[in-house]
Amino acid sequence: MQRHWENINALCDIVRETSFAIHRYLGFGHLERIYRRALVHRLRKQGVRADEEPRLNVYDEDGTELGELIPDLFVEECLMVELKARRAVVPDDQAQLLGYLRASRIENGLLINFGAPRLYIKKYVFTPL
């Protein structure tokens, strides 16, 4: 059953709280795919649709379809999630997510890093000019 998310912040809160619970349980030091699978599993248990490594279309500025990109997660068909499992987030991580949002024309994204002692989560909103 797919829910309609009128308030994207409520969906982001669910993903954040679930990520904190995973980080608290697993800690840091695992591979990215372990965190990805844990997040998908726990979101689905809550009735939230989470697609792991979906293929999303990439568009040029005139709307021409150019190909596909594969983000880590696509939640409820409106929130892109990029996961990392490294000691620190670098500017390239932010650039990757913003590039994915722009190219796929998806407005909201979360960048989550499980690889440090302190969980990192940051929301990004891409609004086309």
Residue 24 in any domain: the answer is yes
Provide the residue type at 31 as one letter. L
pLDDT in tens, 52-92: 999 999 999 899 999 999 999 999 999 999 999 999 999 99
List the domain range (segments joined by +) for residue 49. 8-125
Residues with Cβ within 8 Å of 38's Cβ and at least 6 positions away in sequence, in order, are 22, 26
Half-sphere exposure of 113 (CA within 13 A, CB side): 15
Residue 94 in any domain: the answer is yes
The pTM of this model reads: 0.92
Q: What pLDDT was estimated at residue 127?
A: 83
Look at the chain and report how many structural domains it folds into: 1
Residue 81 in any domain: the answer is yes
Distance CA(83)–CA(126), nearest Å, equals 18
Residue 82 in any domain: the answer is yes
Q: What pLDDT was estimated at residue 6?
A: 72
Q: What pLDDT was estimated at residue 12?
A: 98
CATH at 67: 3.40.1350
Residue 1 in any domain: the answer is no
